[in-house]
Structure 1
Amino acid sequence: MTATEFDRARSNAPVGAVRFRSVAIFSVWVLAIVPFFLGTLPPVMDVPNHLTRIWLLAEGLNHAPLSAMYEARWSQAATNIFVDLIGTSLARAIGIDAVGKVLLVAMFLLPPLAALRLNKKLFRRTGWWALAGVMLVWSTTAVTGLISYQIGLAAALAAAALVHPIERASAKQLLAIFVCTAVLLFVHPFGALFFMLLNIALIFGPRWTNLLNGKIGRIAAVAAVSIVPVILLMLLAPHPPGANKTHEAFVYWQPLSTTFSPTTVGLVLLSPILSYKASLDVLLVLPVLGLLGWLAYKRQIKVHAGLLLVAAVLEFISPILPMNIGDGGALVIRFPEMAALMALAGLSPAFNTQRQRAVFAGVLALAAVVRIGTIGWIWQMRAADVEQLKTATRALPPGASVIVLQQHWDEITGAPLGRLVAGFPSGRCASERHYGSLVVMWRQVFIPSLFTVPGQQPLAVKPPYLAKSVYSSGIPFTDDMNMPIPQRLDPYLKHWHRDFDYVLLLNADLGNASLPGTRVVADEGFARLYQVVR
């Protein structure tokens, strides 16, 4: 299909059909917000930890006993601070519960919506393709709760749409890119990286036949200007990103047998569409992919070659990336998300007949509504877990020190739907493992695993609690408690009988944990509370 035929196909819909399409698309996206209001807090892994920190910064640090445990250190945060700053201000105005809803809706919906905004700028209209964005709302990075990362991607897409086109890389355009990159570093470093990749892809242009001709200078200039704010951050920040040992090694690679296993590669590549049940997620997306394949065969899809090329490269390198570098974790699932958003922005279907348009619209709308309904159903089921946690921890006295544990993987294989993140490389990642952070808000107690990474978060632990805490924790397992002292990975577990008063076990209904030296205080299924007996 030629460009003229394509544009004609895009504009031959009657006015009434266009109005119906606009109302239908708007209604589906509004419907996508409903699941966020089903229950107190959905199973989104890191979010409870982030919300607890925001609550502490907004009001919790003003009251004992928490004022003796944690303190605000805004000067230590060099990047990744936007969500804390905005969230803290909002929490003081509307309360932490409302802030939680705002941040959840923003981190899930804004990235695909921003990609669709760029799509509209590139192709002049989006049409029914706007519903395809719903399939990317509940991605693995979103379900894992990477709030700042998700919002950073959305901001990068919005900034790319703002500065495009970069026709001559003039001083004014390069200054705009420099400023946008600096602001994006304030949100999340990956937002700045994504912005640079988007600009390079857009400079490549929409045609496969003219990707590099006369463009190398512009690409080099954009790359150089994008790197300067990063260099300044690393040189001037008191705690630059990556300088803290939050993992076992600065660069951590999965074993080769795991990295190149078909299961791991498949989970990584499909992570932009995976939420809690891989087979169900794939089943919902397959009809959409089938239609896209059919339209591509009919040459009824207009593409932006630069965006698709960079997206393909990101997908290709994702499985072989290290799992962690410095303070940054889960790298292998971050690049596929960027690639998927680039593809969403860089594709634009067209239709020769009203029947084709109706079929495409019907399939997309049905898939989107079923996807929304499925997530809503899962989140509604998991709402009981929060209530069980709240009930189980009522016996906690203010000022107590509490270790949060998760059930061992051997026991968690039969987890109810929603308890696991489907797209994580290992296929084993508890979606509710940071729920224990909520007891800091509810019961005014100390836990050692709040995120307090210097350079990333403006929260710190005070002495003497600092000696029994870590900057970041994936939450230890029950078996870690019973290992010989030298083999206990998290430092605060070395002498847990001496240093802590209670142990809170999550996913307690999936196994029979044994914790010598404790007694059960409360057991509510999902959550079980033990008191340490000295």
Structure 2
Amino acid sequence: MNAVKSDLTEDEQANLVAPNQADCRRESLRAVAFIVLAALISLIPVLSVRFPPMTDYANHYVRLWLLTGGINRPHMADFYQIDWNVAWTNIAIDLMAFVLGKVAGIGIIGPLMLGLALLLPSLGVALLNRKLFGGFHWWQVLCFVLAWNSVFLFGFLSFSISLGLALIFAYADEHLKSRNPALVFGVRAVLSAILLVAHPFGLLFYTALLAALAFGPSIAPLRQRKMFFAAVLRVLVAVAPVFLPLVIFLLFGPSLPGQKNVSLFESMYWDNPSLIRSFMMLLTYFRTYDIRIDMIYLLLLLVVVRETIRRNLMRLHWGLILASIVLGLLSLVMPTQVFDTGGIDVRLPCMMALAAAAGLRPDVRGRLQLIILPVVFLVVASRTAFIEYVWLQRSADVASVERVLDHVEPGAAILPAQTSLDTAEFQKMPVGRSVGGMFPSFLHYPALASLERDAFMPYLFTAAGKQPLRVREPWRAISVPEGAPVPSRLLDMDVADYLPYMADWKNRFDYILLLNADMESSSYPMPTFDTVHIVADEGFARLYRIDHDASH
């Protein structure tokens, strides 16, 4: 192998897709065994912890519980109603839970959704990489370190599932592309519709993958004008079916998620843009709970890529590599929020990492061939072991919340709050209480009040267009479709302009649930009120009863 394979023509690359197939079959089977082991090992944290420190997960869990029958509980029926007429995208987990709820309980459905969101992207990388380069391979095992990433730990489950589906659909497309063009167009349109319903960013990733695969594995189109225009034409033909379901939904579907009477550009928001923030955003798919540990695994991946390129042992699919580069560059200008959906800027870095992983095939020679599979498996296992350690540590926080909630009577209204911290104090939180250095992992633990005590909390996910759940009157007056615990220092301030449920909160809510209470700041202590009295203090969680004004 005298040069990096990406410099070869497409025909030459096609001949290299599966070199020495007879000799490699045994290695491929060994790789399959280790891929299965990596997947099973990765599921250990999912099966050992009921409510892991994932930012959105508890909120999703409670909504899925409602969809699978919890809505029939007396107080829940007073609080919420199910309405599928206004939910048409971002509902992958909702649809699956609704269907599976007829045969399984939330105790099975919750971990199943977690497992799918965790494993589908890595399995999709393995399948697409196998199709492009031939055979299963140790690189696909190593890519399971990407299963643990900040976006999954944010609890973006439908998004993560849609990324995996996009990769699997691209793999299937590679098998179909030589068939009748009409059949290929129809299949791509159907798969695009599925992804649009699952999550719109999954559809975007599928579009990028189709474009990359149509461009081809060679760099030659960027060097010759005639080949470039031929590649552009292939890309346009490949992605054309994607727009059919999108246009149909935009013309005939319900309104888009988000604010009413606000234009797309007016809804865009950038959160303190800077070079450092942009750089850290590019690392989204490599970050978990401790950036120091995360960087060890990132450096390992970079060393593998660098050394195999230096030794002329790397094969590339240039279409996917170029797609990865374009996605990375676009991510630098993405807004933080569009309409009522946040975390927009962390989506494209995920696609960038997965496209690159699928488009690389590093090889090894000599004695390393004998030990590479066990070594990369141990790397994956160590990554999972770190997550398991963090999840078990933070289980104490969930237990603390559950203990204070024992004092809440059914039908009560709970106002979630969190201790106010400055930047330095935020950085000192115990491992697992923040994800990727960006969001606290405990923001949606208050949703457990609905699950375990039939109580009301004001920000269960009910965004129009994204969740099939609506708040009934009169509870709608003290709810928002998305939110977070109010910082404790704001309790004695007038913040009703941007937190409408805080208006007259002393008479609208029955309890305050304070989270991260064991890190209460001396600079921002919990305000005191004559009508607010502590009921239970369990360290991380603290519960206060609100005595209502008799005139109300």
Give, in whole Å, the separation in 2 of the partners of 1:460 and 1:476. Answer: 22
Aligned length: 523
Work out whether residues 107 and 142 of structure 1, in 8 Å CA contact, stay in contact via their aligned partners in 2: yes
Aligned ranges for residues 24-103 of structure 1 at < 5 Å?
24-103=34-113
> Counterpart of 2:379?
367
Letter in structure 1 aligned against 2:209: L
Work out whether residues 10 and 350 of structure 1, in 8 Å CA contact, stay in contact via their aligned partners in 2: no
Give, in whole Å, the separation in 2 of the partners of 1:32 and 1:50. Answer: 21
Cα deviation for residue 225 of structure 1 reads: 2.6
Are 2:516 and 1:507 equivalent residues in the alignment? Answer: yes
Give, in whole Å, the separation in 2 of the partners of 1:479 and 1:302. Answer: 56
Within the candidate set 234, 237, 255, 2:253 is matched to 237
> Counterpart of 1:532?
546
> Counterpart of 1:189?
200
> Counterpart of 2:316?
303
Cα deviation for residue 228 of structure 1 reads: 2.7
Letter in structure 2 aligned against 1:100: G
C-alpha distance after superposition, 1:65-111 (max 9, x if no partner): 22111111111112122311211332342211221111111111111
C-alpha distance after superposition, 1:441-470 (max 9, x if no partner): 100011110110111111000011111111
Please, what is the CA RMSD of the aligned residues? Answer: 2.3
Q: 1:8 to 1:231 in 2, by over 3 A?
A: closer
Give, in whole Å, the separation in 1 of the partners of 2:393 and 2:66. Answer: 29
Are 2:536 and 1:522 equivalent residues in the alignment? Answer: yes
Give, in whole Å, the separation in 2 of the partners of 1:294 and 1:183. Answer: 40
Letter in structure 1 aligned against 2:328: E
Are 2:368 and 1:356 equivalent residues in the alignment? Answer: yes
2:486 aligns to what SS in structure 1?
coil
Letter in structure 2 aligned against 1:497: K
Give, in whole Å, the separation in 2 of the partners of 1:145 and 1:42. Answer: 10
| Greater displacement, 518-527 / 284-293 | 284-293
2:103 aligns to what SS in structure 1?
helix
Unaligned 5+ segments in structure 2 are 6-12, 223-227
Are 2:184 and 1:173 equivalent residues in the alignment? Answer: yes
Q: 1:50 to 1:181 in 2, by over 3 A?
A: same
Cα deviation for residue 240 of structure 1 reads: 2.1
| Greater displacement, 135-144 / 1-10 | 1-10
Work out whether residues 163 and 351 of structure 2, in 8 Å CA contact, stay in contact via their aligned partners in 1: yes
Aligned ranges for residues 337-486 of structure 1 at < 5 Å?
337-353=350-366, 355-358=367-370, 360-410=372-422, 411-422=425-436, 427-485=437-495
Letter in structure 1 aligned against 2:248: L
Cα deviation for residue 36 of structure 1 reads: 1.2
Cα deviation for residue 399 of structure 1 reads: 0.6
2:439 aligns to what SS in structure 1?
coil
Give, in whole Å, the separation in 2 of the partners of 1:297 and 1:29. Answer: 31
> Counterpart of 1:254?
271
1:395 aligns to what SS in structure 2?
coil
Give, in whole Å, the separation in 2 of the partners of 1:206 and 1:484. Answer: 59
Are 2:297 and 1:284 equivalent residues in the alignment? Answer: yes
Q: 1:428 to 1:192 in 2, by over 3 A?
A: closer
Work out whether residues 239 and 455 of structure 1, in 8 Å CA contact, stay in contact via their aligned partners in 2: yes
Give, in whole Å, the separation in 1 of the partners of 2:420 and 2:377. Answer: 40
Within the candidate set 206, 209, 212, 2:217 is matched to 206
2:101 aligns to what SS in structure 1?
helix
| Greater displacement, 429-438 / 239-248 | 239-248
Cα deviation for residue 235 of structure 1 reads: 2.0
Cα deviation for residue 316 of structure 1 reads: 1.9
Q: Provide the TM-score with structure 2 as the length reference.
A: 0.89
- Report % sequence identity: 31
Letter in structure 2 aligned against 1:138: W
Q: Provide the TM-score with structure 1 as the length reference.
A: 0.92
| Greater displacement, 497-506 / 239-248 | 239-248
Letter in structure 1 aligned against 2:473: P
Q: 1:452 to 1:111 in 2, by over 3 A?
A: same
Cα deviation for residue 414 of structure 1 reads: 1.7
Work out whether residues 449 and 471 of structure 1, in 8 Å CA contact, stay in contact via their aligned partners in 2: yes
Give, in whole Å, the separation in 1 of the partners of 2:22 and 2:257. Answer: 48
Give, in whole Å, the separation in 1 of the partners of 2:251 and 2:467. Answer: 19
Cα deviation for residue 231 of structure 1 reads: 2.2
C-alpha distance after superposition, 1:210-230 (max 9, x if no partner): 353413233223333312322
Work out whether residues 215 and 231 of structure 2, in 8 Å CA contact, stay in contact via their aligned partners in 1: yes
Give, in whole Å, the separation in 2 of the partners of 1:464 and 1:19. Answer: 60
C-alpha distance after superposition, 1:308-357 (max 9, x if no partner): 1010111122132110111332111110111111111111122332x132
Work out whether residues 125 and 140 of structure 2, in 8 Å CA contact, stay in contact via their aligned partners in 1: no
Work out whether residues 31 and 372 of structure 1, in 8 Å CA contact, stay in contact via their aligned partners in 2: yes
Q: 1:485 to 1:320 in 2, by over 3 A?
A: closer
2:386 aligns to what SS in structure 1?
helix
Work out whether residues 112 and 344 of structure 1, in 8 Å CA contact, stay in contact via their aligned partners in 2: no
Give, in whole Å, the separation in 2 of the partners of 1:116 and 1:52. Answer: 32
Letter in structure 2 aligned against 1:370: S
